[in-house]
Structure 1
Amino acid sequence: MRYVVVLAASLLFGLLAFPAVSQPVPSALPPTVVDHFFITTDGVSLHYLEAGPAAGHTLVFIPGWTMPAWIWMPQILAFSRSYHVVAFDPRGQGDSSVPATGYEPVRRGKDIAELIARVALQPVVVVAWSLGVLDTLASIHVAGDRRIAGLVLVDNSVGEEPPPARLPHLHLHLHRPPPNHIQAMHAFVRAMFRRAQPSAYLERLTAATLRTPEAASKRLLSYPMPRSYWRDAVYETKVPVLYVVRPRWVAQGRNLVRNRPDTEMEVFHDAGHALFVDEPARFNAVTEQFLRRRVWP
């Protein structure tokens, strides 16, 4: 059974082909945030942002489908006051290289494991959003949880019951021509937020998503794994887990909290998919409390 990443697929069903944008999107980083690159074991140059005291506890932020590391900037700036913060650009995203291969969970999981091994000597907390949740759970299958102190899993299924219902958006294009890829990505980016975002921010974010080739973006939407693959990873690791979701995932979260020790859930009822951008102060506070209570008291 092929596991479809429904949050993005609901907006991208039936896309037409369009040439990929291959150049990095220019960005002006705050002076406290530094660019770094490393080479993976399969020879791909991947990018990450780093901030905060090198001796502090490390937080590693993993973005969602086609998203850049800098979408976590409200968290990078807030947490780097006390923590060593790393925000990752997965392959084909942000300022990382755009290889022809590797857009599947095992390789993406290896990328995260190699990043963690590079940036911290002590176990880290991984904060993963959307597709980044699945990539992080794949990383646990690949490398175990020896280097992980805790998980913050944001707004995606974790393979727990009940399975996600198909969204009505999947049927939007059955009776009219689908949009081209650029139009679809514009729509997808705007649909991630419930709070109004500046138009320049939305345009820059859309341009970043278009660095991922369309063919690769489609492969990322249909990982060939059963739902149990993700659930097994969550239950096999014994580290504290915070599940931060919108109401769509509450039923899964309740079962997760009921059946898995050391698990908490926080529900954002009035935010979009990018809930940490819509409500950064609340997200940061909830995460900080989890870190101090469950991970590094």
Structure 2
Amino acid sequence: MRAATTAQWFRTSDGVRLRYLDSGSGRMVVFVPGWCMPASIFQPQIDALSRRWRVVSLDPRGQGESEVPRGGYDPARRGQDIRDLLAHLGGGRVVLAGWSLGVLDALSYVDMAGDGRLAGLVLIDNSVGEGQAPPPRSVPSRFFINLRQRRDATVRGFVGSMYRTPQDAAYLDAIARQAQRMPVEASIRLLSYPRPREFWKQSLYAVRRPVYYAVTPRLRSQAELVAQHHPQPMVEVFDGAGHALFVDESARFNASMEEFLSRRAAWN
């Protein structure tokens, strides 16, 4: 039976009101979405995993239904927002799962707070600073120009590119509209995090809890290096999925999450 999902709110340490979705009960997994995306993008995980776990999905500042402040679109503040959320939720250890930009937000949290609250860390389809930098999906400067000049079309193109499987037009429209809530310059700052690649690598390997790194083929070499270098790795390459691999191959990803949560995470 599917657990009920409720929308909850909390205030960050700098006074910004953020929303999160909360479903299920028991040990907790917290999802952090990517660039400009809403918490609801993890609906396939909320529906499946909340049968056994408490599933929380954050609308980061400026995203989903959270407040859109003028500032705070930098890795330190976003990491602190996660820290504030975990303090608000209370309780023991959690599995923290970040996707895309949420990977960097989660690693920013780890840099400032350590891994004491973590039973495990899930990183979904972003570079973690291992090996050589992956080829960019597009030229960043051109993407920024397009965001400033043709934002709606650019965001809709980006949203459509996240999937390899057909998606309902109304679903894509809703995601694209939500992805344009924050000021355009704030959205560009989110794509311009002023941290070297080595920072993300060091943050990852400072985590001694189990790590699940789920990627698409462009990050295969990084996944192989994480499997070699992290003491408790679980890595998986989703060859047939797009960037939103947890939607494209939701059944496979959810099964892997169940494996990680039930058999690998360090809850004690």
| TM-score interval, smaller chain | over 0.9
In structure 1, the partner of 2:237 is 267
1:170 paired to 2:134: no
**Alpha-carbon deviation of 1:163?**
1.5
Within 5 Å, give how 1:1-297 maps onto structure 2: 32-53=4-25, 56-167=26-137, 169-170=138-139, 180-295=150-265
Q: Residue 273 of structure 1: SS of its match in structure 2?
A: coil
Task: Decide whether aligned partners of structure 1 residues 257 and 217 sit closer, same or farther in structure 2, where only a CA change above 3 A counts.
Answer: same
Structure 1 range deviating more: 70-79 or 118-127:
118-127
**Alpha-carbon deviation of 1:213?**
1.5
**Alpha-carbon deviation of 1:61?**
0.6
* Matches of 1:171 and 1:252, distance apart in 2: 21
Structure 1 runs of 4+ aligned residues shifted over 4 Å read 171-174, 176-179
* Matches of 1:99 and 1:31, distance apart in 2: 32
The question of whether the paired residues in 2 share the 8 Å contact of 1:58 and 1:120 is answered with no
Q: Residue 146 of structure 1: SS of its match in structure 2?
A: coil
* Matches of 2:111 and 2:129, distance apart in 1: 14
Return the letter of the residue paired with 2:113: A
* Matches of 1:186 and 1:235, distance apart in 2: 35
Return the letter of the residue paired with 2:71: T
The question of whether the paired residues in 1 share the 8 Å contact of 2:4 and 2:23 is answered with yes
What do the CA deviations read for 1:193-240 (whole angstroms, capped 9, x no partner)?
000000000001111101121111000000001111111111111010
CA RMSD of aligned residues (A): 1.9
**Alpha-carbon deviation of 1:165?**
2.1
The question of whether the paired residues in 1 share the 8 Å contact of 2:18 and 2:66 is answered with yes
**Alpha-carbon deviation of 1:120?**
3.4
In structure 2, the partner of 1:12 is none
The question of whether the paired residues in 2 share the 8 Å contact of 1:117 and 1:147 is answered with no
**Alpha-carbon deviation of 1:190?**
0.4
What is the aligned-residue identity percentage? 47
The question of whether the paired residues in 2 share the 8 Å contact of 1:127 and 1:151 is answered with yes
Higher relative contact order (CA 8 A, sep 6+): 1
The question of whether the paired residues in 1 share the 8 Å contact of 2:23 and 2:46 is answered with yes
Q: Which runs of 5+ in 2 are unaligned?
A: none
Return the letter of the residue paired with 1:70: S
Task: Decide whether aligned partners of structure 1 residues 173 and 156 sit closer, same or farther in structure 2, where only a CA change above 3 A counts.
Answer: closer
* Matches of 2:70 and 2:52, distance apart in 1: 38
* Matches of 1:31 and 1:241, distance apart in 2: 27
**Alpha-carbon deviation of 1:114?**
0.9
**Alpha-carbon deviation of 1:173?**
5.5
Return the letter of the residue paired with 2:151: H
How many residue pairs were aligned? 264
**Alpha-carbon deviation of 1:166?**
3.1
Return the letter of the residue paired with 2:175: L
* Matches of 1:60 and 1:177, distance apart in 2: 33
* Matches of 2:17 and 2:221, distance apart in 1: 39
* Matches of 1:170 and 1:118, distance apart in 2: 39
* Matches of 1:180 and 1:121, distance apart in 2: 45
Q: Which runs of 5+ in 1 are unaligned?
A: 1-29
Q: Residue 234 of structure 1: SS of its match in structure 2?
A: helix
**Alpha-carbon deviation of 1:96?**
0.5
